[in-house]
Amino acid sequence: MYTNQHGFLAGQSTAMSLLNIQDKISQAIDNNEYSIGLFFDLSKAFDSVDHNILKKSLKPMALEG
């Protein structure tokens, strides 16, 4: 399990991610450090992909696991 994942896990919420970010920014400020955030909106990422091609690409990976 990825320790920074909060969504889609029992007893976790995505609000925890926001609290973690706030905590890290506060720590950076307290330590006179810089804080940079990069946020990507991938909500439509798979809408632009041909799903049949995507399935063919992912199938070999599923067989490995």
Quick one: how far is CA 39 from the chain centroid?
9
Measured distance between the N- and C-terminal CA atoms of the chain, rounded to whole angstroms: 15
For residue 65, give Cα distances in angstroms to 9, 32, 51.
20, 44, 21
Q: For 7-29, what is each residue's pLDDT tens digit?
A: 677 777 778 888 888 999 999 99
pLDDT of residue 38: 83
Q: Counting beta carbons within 10 angstroms of the beta carbon of residue 17, is it exposed (0 to 12), middle (13 to 18) or buried (19 or more)?
A: middle
DSSP run (H or E) holding 56: helix 51-64
More confident of the two residues 59 and 34: 34
Domain definitions of the chain by residue range: 15-64
